[in-house]
């Protein structure tokens, strides 16, 4: 994937919570000197943490500012992310702009349009970053891995493994190990910059050959036929369920989109956390398989929703299978459009994931309601 394609993906990823929360005035503020003695879960326009959180922080909003201390991990999805307080655990954040200016005792994983490690930033382990623009001015005890269209390093770190278009090391930069990077251009290493290990560059050739239209057409045809086959099987087996599952996308689209975004972001994090434990590895593998299936079939429910919307808009009366076919064709045509197609594909995935997540949640709620209580159970076991 070209680095320029990271920009629309991250732009959509961080603008969704902004648009979803645009109509909400909810904000959260933990004042300095106060403590929150549990895991903190917050969704809102503005989330400000100036006090101490004795647990993990999970935050989704337009802007998230952490100037206090967090004793656990931090998980953030927001347009603007600023962390200037100490975090004893890991930091995982997605945002349009992410700024770190504090001590992070463990690892960080960041994705955004612009990522800044300011002078006062310190990371106790590895830093993984994916950005259009990256500035690393602090200290990283481990490696700096990832991709950035433009990367500027003025601080210190152990090893660098970057996929980049332009890499600059200023005179204050210190690489304690190897400088490994993949780029079509040679890195600009200023006089005074220190690289104690080897400098290894992988030359990436930028192809100027135009895309093959026939290959694109064949790929879209394959997507059409494969999704059509699976979708028609679903509709044949459970037509009423498919319509019920797709309907909420039209009725409450923003809430469904937020559900899908949460599943898209949090599920991989949960899988990674399970893989780090011995007893959680089997469960992590099961969830990973289910997650992959959900990512694929999610587009089917979005296609059904598109077809239902068109049928209502133009007063068509037809079987659900034809509704699905029309919606699927429209979806695939939209995904061909440069830049806009990436946004459509990502949004369709989130809508489908959100609809699936909401449906499963309702099923689980029904099971809990129908579960027998102690008074429903027989007082004595049945005779054998």
> pLDDT tens for residues 216-241?
677 778 878 888 888 888 888 888 88
Q: CB atoms < 10 A from the CB of 364, how many? A: 10
Distances (CA, A) of 56 to 17, 27, 147, 165: 20, 19, 27, 35
Q: Tell me whether residue 379 is in a domain.
A: no
Q: Tell me whether residue 380 is in a domain.
A: no
Q: Is 155 exposed, middle or buried (0-12, 13-18, 19+ CB in 10 A)?
A: buried
Q: Tell me whether residue 161 is in a domain.
A: yes
Q: Tell me whether residue 334 is in a domain.
A: yes
Residue 88 has pLDDT above 90, yes or no: yes
Question: 370 vs 263, which has greater pLDDT?
Answer: 263
Question: Which residues is 104 bridged to in the sheet?
Answer: 87, 123
Confidence at residue 367, expressed as pLDDT on a 0 to 100 scale:
61
Measured CA to CA, the distance from residue 265 to residue 350 in angstroms comes to 10
For residue 14, what pLDDT band results from cuts at 50, 70 and 90?
Answer: very low
Give me the mean pLDDT over the 55-82 stretch: 90
C-beta separation of 111 from 264 below 8 A: no
Q: Is 66 exposed, middle or buried (0-12, 13-18, 19+ CB in 10 A)?
A: buried
Residue 215 has pLDDT above 80, yes or no: no
Residue 1 has pLDDT above 60, yes or no: no
Residues 197 and 217 in one domain: no
Distances (CA, A) of 348 to 154, 301, 303, 343: 40, 9, 8, 8
Domain that holds residue 343: 213-366
Residues 130 and 91 in one domain: yes
Left if phi > 0, otherwise alpha if psi is -120 to 50, otherwise beta: which for 146? left
Give percent of the chain with pLDDT exceeding 70: 84
DSSP 126: -
User: Domain total for the chain?
Assistant: 2
Residue 6 has pLDDT above 60, yes or no: no
Give me the mean pLDDT over the 43-61 stretch: 89
- DSSP sequence for 20-72: HTTT---EEEE-TT-EE-S-EEEEEEEEEE-SEESS-EEEEEEEEEE-SEESS
Residues 264 and 161 in one domain: no
Residues 63 and 107 in one domain: yes
Contacts of 278 (CB under 8 A, 6+ apart): none
Confidence at residue 20, expressed as pLDDT on a 0 to 100 scale:
46
The 3-state DSSP composition of the chain as helix, strand, coil percent (nearest 5) reads 40, 30, 30
Mean pLDDT of the chain: 82
pLDDT in tens, 171-188: 999 999 999 999 888 989
Top mean-pLDDT range of 204-213, 218-227, 374-383: 218-227
Domain boundary among 158, 180, 203: 203
Residues 172 and 260 in one domain: no
Q: Tell me whether residue 277 is in a domain.
A: yes
Residue 10 has pLDDT above 70, yes or no: no
Residues 152 and 76 in one domain: yes
Residues 107 and 239 in one domain: no
Residues 166 and 229 in one domain: no
CA atoms within 13 A on the CB side of 246: 27
Q: Tell me whether residue 83 is in a domain.
A: yes
Residue 81 has pLDDT above 90, yes or no: yes
Q: CB atoms < 10 A from the CB of 193, how many? A: 19
Residues 256 and 172 in one domain: no
Residues 220 and 188 in one domain: no
Give me the mean pLDDT over the 195-220 stretch: 71
> Which secondary-structure segment (H or E) carries 103?
strand 103-104
Residues 137 and 257 in one domain: no
Measured CA to CA, the distance from residue 168 to residue 147 in angstroms comes to 14
Q: Tell me whether residue 269 is in a domain.
A: yes
C-beta separation of 171 from 153 below 8 A: no
Q: CB atoms < 10 A from the CB of 241, how many? A: 12
- DSSP sequence for 332-358: HHHHHSTTHHHHHHHHHHHHHHHHHHH
Q: Tell me whether residue 155 is in a domain.
A: yes
pLDDT in tens, 314-333: 888 888 888 888 888 888 88
Residues 105 and 69 in one domain: yes
Top mean-pLDDT range of 65-69, 226-230, 248-252: 65-69
Give me the mean pLDDT over the 98-119 stretch: 92
Q: Which residues of 81-98 are buried (b: 16+ CB within 10 A; e: fewer)?
A: bbbbbbbbbbbbbbbbbb
What's the pTM value of the predicted model, to 2 decimals? 0.56
Residue 259 has pLDDT above 90, yes or no: no
Measured CA to CA, the distance from residue 237 to residue 127 in angstroms comes to 47
Candidate from 13-27, 63-77, 127-141, 322-336 with smallest mean pLDDT: 13-27
């Amino acid at each position: 994937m070209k680095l320029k394609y990271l920009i629309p993906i991250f732009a959509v990823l961080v603008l969704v919570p902004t648009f979803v929360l645009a109509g909400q005035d909810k904000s959260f503020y933990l004042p300095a000197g106060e403590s929150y003695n549990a895991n903190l879960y917050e969704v809102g326009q503005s989330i400000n943490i100036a006090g101490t959180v004795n647990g993990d922080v999970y935050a989704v909003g337009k802007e998230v500012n952490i100037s206090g201390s967090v004793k656990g991990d931090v998980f953030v999805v927001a347009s603007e992310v600023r962390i200037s307080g100490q975090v004893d655990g890991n930091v995982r954040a997605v945002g349009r702009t992410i700024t770190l200016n504090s001590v992070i005792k463990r690892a960080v994983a960041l994705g955004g349009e612009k990522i800044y490690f300011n002078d006062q930033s310190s990371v106790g382990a590895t830093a993984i970053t994916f950005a259009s623009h990256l500035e690393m001015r602090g200290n990283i005890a481990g490696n700096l891995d990832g991709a950035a269209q433009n990367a500027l390093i003025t601080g210190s770190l152990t090893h660098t493994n970057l996929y980049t278009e332009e890499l600059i090391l200023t005179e204050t930069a210190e690489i304690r190990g190897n400088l490994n990077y993949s780029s079509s251009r040679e890195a600009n290493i200023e006089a005074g910059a220190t690289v104690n290990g080897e400098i290894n560059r992988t030359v990436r050739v930028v192809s100027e050959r135009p895309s093959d239209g026939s290959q694109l057409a064949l790929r879209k045809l394959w997507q059409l036929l494969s999704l059509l086959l699976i979708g028609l099987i679903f509709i044949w087996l459970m037509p009423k369920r498919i319509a019920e599952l797709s309907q909420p996308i039209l009725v409450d689209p923003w809430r469904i989109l937020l559900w899908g975004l949460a599943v898209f972001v949090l599920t991989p994090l949960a899988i990674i956390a399970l893989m780090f434990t011995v007893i959680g590895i089997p469960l992590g593998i099961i969830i990973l398989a289910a997650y992959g299936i959900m990512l694929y079939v999610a587009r089917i429910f979005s296609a059904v929703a598109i077809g239902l919307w068109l049928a209502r808009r133009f007063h068509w009366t037809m079987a659900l299978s034809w509704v699905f076919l029309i919606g699927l064709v429209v979806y695939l045509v939209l995904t061909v459009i440069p830049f806009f197609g990436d946004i459509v594909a990502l949004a369709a995935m989130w809508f489908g994931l959100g609809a699936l997540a909401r449906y499963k949640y309702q099923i689980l709620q029904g099971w809990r309601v129908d579960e027998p209580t102690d008074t429903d159970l027989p007082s004595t076991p049945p005779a054998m």
